[in-house]
Homo-oligomer: A and B are copies of this chain.
Amino acid sequence: MTDARVAVTVDLVVLTVREHRLCALVWWRDRPPYAHTWSLPGGFIQLDEDLPVAAERLMAERAGLADARVHLEQLATYGYPDRDPRQRVVSVAYLGLAPDLPASTRAQVVWRPVSDLSESGSIAFDHRRILLDGVERARAKLEYSPLAAAFCPAEFTVAELRRVYEIVWGTPLDPRNFHRKVTGAEGFLVPTGRTTTRDGGRPARVYRRGDAESLHPPMMRPGW
């Protein structure tokens, strides 16, 4: 039995909501392979490094987001033989959900709307597939988890949270029913006692994320 050895990378699908669009963090490639295309930020794992640790290190080094407030979870692993023209590479993809932070100090790493990337833009390797799998995972998780709050700053209003759902799902939600649903779910939102008028109109209560791990019954995605 010959233990074939391959290079293992971690690639990051980092999503945020900014300017009313779902955006992903992408890396501009200025040299081959796939020069002059976008790729997902990522890199090789180190020999003494666990996979989640590598994901966090690359989140800091390559994505410029050293922030603990980014939710990170394993997405899937991609390893068909010729996905990298140089050598056999098995890539473990991680999904990151972040609030709208300034991307990075480097100009090479920028937020780009997912709709631009998924339709036309030229994407390196199989990274379009990975990106779409990450987006689909994020969409599904909003249904039954409190993860939408990962797209918001630490404190937010119900309407801001609703806008996250509307943008990620690409569909409008009834503000009144949404409000009742999220404020009624045990442990989902913690009121701070303060209010804000930053969205105009009547002052909105400001909440922090609660400690609930899931949402039962789930939020319904219209038309599913």
24-71 of chain A: CB within 8 A of chain B: 43-51
Whether, in the assembled complex, A6 has its beta carbon less than 8 Å from a beta carbon of chain B, the answer is: yes
> When the two chains form their complex, are residues B50 and A81 in contact, meaning their CB atoms are under 8 A apart?
yes
Interface string of A77-114 (1 = CB under 8 A from B): 11111000001101010000000000000000000000
> When the two chains form their complex, are residues A3 and B47 in contact, meaning their CB atoms are under 8 A apart?
no
> When the two chains form their complex, are residues B87 and A90 in contact, meaning their CB atoms are under 8 A apart?
no
Interface of A is mostly: loop
> When the two chains form their complex, are residues B47 and A88 in contact, meaning their CB atoms are under 8 A apart?
yes
> When the two chains form their complex, are residues A6 and B81 in contact, meaning their CB atoms are under 8 A apart?
no
With contacts A50-B79, A80-B51 known, is A5 near B7, CB below 8 A?
yes
Which residues of the partner chain B approach A76 to less than 8 Å between Cβ atoms? 74
Which residues of the partner chain B approach A46 to less than 8 Å between Cβ atoms? 4
> When the two chains form their complex, are residues A81 and B48 in contact, meaning their CB atoms are under 8 A apart?
yes
A residues sitting closer than 8 Å to B (CB atoms) are: 1-8, 43-51, 74, 76-81, 87-88, 90, 92, 216, 224
Other A-B pairs, 9, CB within 8 Å; known A45-B79, A51-B90: A1-B43, A2-B44, A4-B8, A5-B7, A6-B8, A6-B47, A48-B81, A77-B77, A79-B92
